[in-house]
Amino acid sequence: MTTTPEGALPVTLPAQQPARGRPPGPGDDFCARLWSELLADELPRYEGILDTALAPQRPYLTENEYALYGSGKRLRPAVLLLCARLAQESGPLPEKALRGAVSLEMLHIATLVHDDVVDGSALRRGLPSVNAVRGTETAVLVGDLQFVQAVRGFADAIEHGDDMRLVRLVLDAAFEICCGELDELTVDPSWDPAVLTDRYWRTAERKTAELFGLAAESGVLLAGGHRSDARRAGFYGRRIGRAFQVMDDLFDLVQDPADSGKPLGVDLLRRRASLPLIYAMAELGPGHRVSRVMRGEDLGDQDGPDGIRRVTAEIRASSGFARAYADARAQALDAIEHLRPFPAGRYRHALEDLALHVVDRVP
């Protein structure tokens, strides 16, 4: 257990593990239970469709790139299939729902590959990142391959005219994700805190929440549910996506670089205005080291080699850190409210638990 200042969010950090064969963390255990207990019938179908979808890429992907599909939590496909079960509680789910789940994971992998290019990350899921091994040009193309194959997969799931709406949802989501990535790169940390906060939530909605919303909404649609229910599920998905992004921003300030493959406080180092940094700048003032780093000032020898570590500790001690966590939890609770109109049952309860897991998980 890490030692955190009073008022800060306590976070348990996993012990350092080798790049290959690391045991699952608590978040992996939660998602593994979803698949083994609620989605056991869907898992072999999902894996079979995934193998078929990856086959055309076989000449172009390395072993590590294939491993990306086996080393993740498969959280977004789980959301899609659980929401499909809101519309169809019993019996085998339609094949197109499984195709949609696979395509959604491919879309997610594409965003991860591109994120690692932007961040210059050396590791992804305990493995060397694509750009670290093969360079930026190849990594971008590998990510593009996943994007294209994801859209092809959703197109293959079309069985009748009403399903065409799904392709539009996918294309809109991909567009919004790209816009969110660009929005994040064009923020000026010197903007007014209220402006930064509004911009942050808009970016989080596009960059992260959009894909969760697509998962939930398309799950209901692919199982033949009503559009009103699909829209309601989409609200649920986007709320947990917002919470997920805030939690990732908090983890950036506490996670051990040996586990994450990224420097501690990478958002701070890159002057990326995450929610806890925005709140900390507003609380600590323009003269504080947090604000100075975000303005691009070099800490120099003032704090020695541990300068960033000390700054991140001060951010964790600020009320802004706890405030950001409270915002994430509020989003998760709001997500649960959007599930209330659905009949109570094990699938709705699992989605409620998932919303809380997003804010209770550890890195």
Contact 134, 122 (CB under 8 A): no
Task: Count the domains in the chain.
Answer: 1
Q: Cα(27)–Cα(301) distance, rounded to whole angstroms?
A: 39
**Which tokens hold the place of 145?**
């391959």
pLDDT of residue 160: 72
Contact 108, 152 (CB under 8 A): no
Q: How many helices (H) and strands (E) does the chain have?
A: 18, 2
Give SS3 for 127: strand
Residue 353 is assigned to a structural domain of this protein: yes
Contact 217, 230 (CB under 8 A): yes
| CATH code of the domain in which 249 resides | 1.10.600.10
Residue 11 is assigned to a structural domain of this protein: no
pLDDT of residue 213: 97
Residue 166 is assigned to a structural domain of this protein: yes
Contact 108, 83 (CB under 8 A): no
pLDDT of residue 26: 42
pLDDT of residue 148: 92
pLDDT of residue 299: 60
pLDDT of residue 217: 96
* Rounded-to-10 torsion of CA 152, 238, 111, 60: -30
Residue 21 is assigned to a structural domain of this protein: no
Q: Cα(68)–Cα(61) distance, rounded to whole angstroms?
A: 11
pLDDT of residue 138: 94
Can you give the residue range of the structural domain that contains 91?
26-360
Residue 30 is assigned to a structural domain of this protein: yes
DSSP-assigned beta bridge partners for residue 160: none
Cβ neighbours around 188 below 10 Å, total: 12
Residue 298 is assigned to a structural domain of this protein: yes
DSSP-assigned beta bridge partners for residue 201: none
pLDDT of residue 259: 65
Residues of the chain with pLDDT under 70: 1-27, 161-162, 258-262, 299-305
Residue 87 is assigned to a structural domain of this protein: yes
Q: Cα(190)–Cα(192) distance, rounded to whole angstroms?
A: 7
Residue 7 is assigned to a structural domain of this protein: no
Q: Cα(275)–Cα(321) distance, rounded to whole angstroms?
A: 8
